[in-house]
Amino acid sequence: MVNTEDVEFISIWLRAKYAETLREGKRGPNLLPDMRKYSEKVRKYTGDNILVQALNRNAYHNNPQFLTNVADRYGFKPIDHFKKQSIADRAEIYLKMAGDIWNPTDIKELAGGWSDDEEKEFFKNTKGQEFTVGYADRSWSDALKYGFLSANIGGSGRFLYNVQAGDTVFCHIAGSGFVGIGECLATAVPMAEFTVEVNGTPMPVTSASWNSEDAKAKLDRKKEIFIRVKWKKFVSDPTDGYWEKGMTSVPLVAYTLTDKTTYKKVKEHFGYKDDVQE
């Protein structure tokens, strides 16, 4: 499950190491007294660990083991100019690496295996959690009309599987802010298996009439997954989404925040109460 606990731990650890470095009078490529620009400091990264070295083009020369086993497999590329998209691209690579390192199938085999019923019991949702779900380049009006959120399982989209029935979802659209709060009614299934009600009759979402047929046509039916959502509070027009300085979002599809300040603000803005039953 993707949340911010690990990020917070790393942040605290880095701040501690930074303080230690300053106390000991050490200087690294990111602690140069003149605070040089990234484009200048990146030249110094050749002596750091391989993940940092990979920012510099020199790491891709005369390093066959890295190129064959890591760079080609995960899509590492040198970054000459570090931008916001660079963070998202690197995060995607690290997610892929983490997925291989902590592959559930491999872990299950190493642990001697367990039954499907045991796995369901272990992951049974006894207390609903709160998730931010990023909903990008998709039809918001149809998500409201039929009660769903969806994502492509490529990249971080697969983390939509972490959202369980009973969880609260805060839908966030980049550039607009938070547009709705709802309750997940059913965990993710492939697009081909997801049904919606039309005039009281269930039918495949692929066969239902959408407000935006173009948006539906753009979805990859083999890779799109859907969760069922009961919307509690929302805006019909994404441009009316809520965002203010100090709130937190992460460039992932589905994640939970340890610091609940953002969720608290969104609830207050929409007039949502946890015990609301609509």
Residue 13: per-residue pLDDT: 53
What is the pTM (predicted TM-score) of this model?
0.66
Lowest mean pLDDT among 92-106, 178-192, 199-213: 92-106
DSSP secondary structure letters along 249-272: --SSSEEB-SSTHHHHHHHHHHT-
| Model confidence at 2: pLDDT above 50 | no
| 83 band by pLDDT with thresholds 50, 70 and 90 | confident
Residue range 110-145, pLDDT digits in tens: 888 888 788 767 766 667 899 999 999 999 999 999
Domains and CATH numbers, the chain: 36-101 (no CATH), 130-270 (3.10.590)
The residue among 83 and 35 whose pLDDT is bigger is: 83
Look at 180 and 54; give whichever has higher pLDDT.
180
**pLDDT (mean) for 29-48:** 69
Q: Any alpha helices (H) in 132-247, and if so which ranges?
A: 140-146, 213-218
Which residues does residue 254 pair with via DSSP β-bridges, in sequence order? 133
Give 157's contacts (C-beta < 8 A, 6+ positions apart). 151, 223, 225, 253
Q: Would you state the pLDDT for residue 277?
A: 45
- C-alpha separations of 7 from 91, 102, 140 in Å: 12, 17, 30
Contact between residue 164 and residue 144 where contact means Cβ atoms under 8 Å apart:
no
pLDDT, position 130 = 96
Report long-range pairs for 65-73 (Cβ below 8 Å, ≥24 apart): none
pLDDT at residue 15, rounded to an integer = 57
Rounded distance, CA 112 to CA 275, Å? Answer: 42
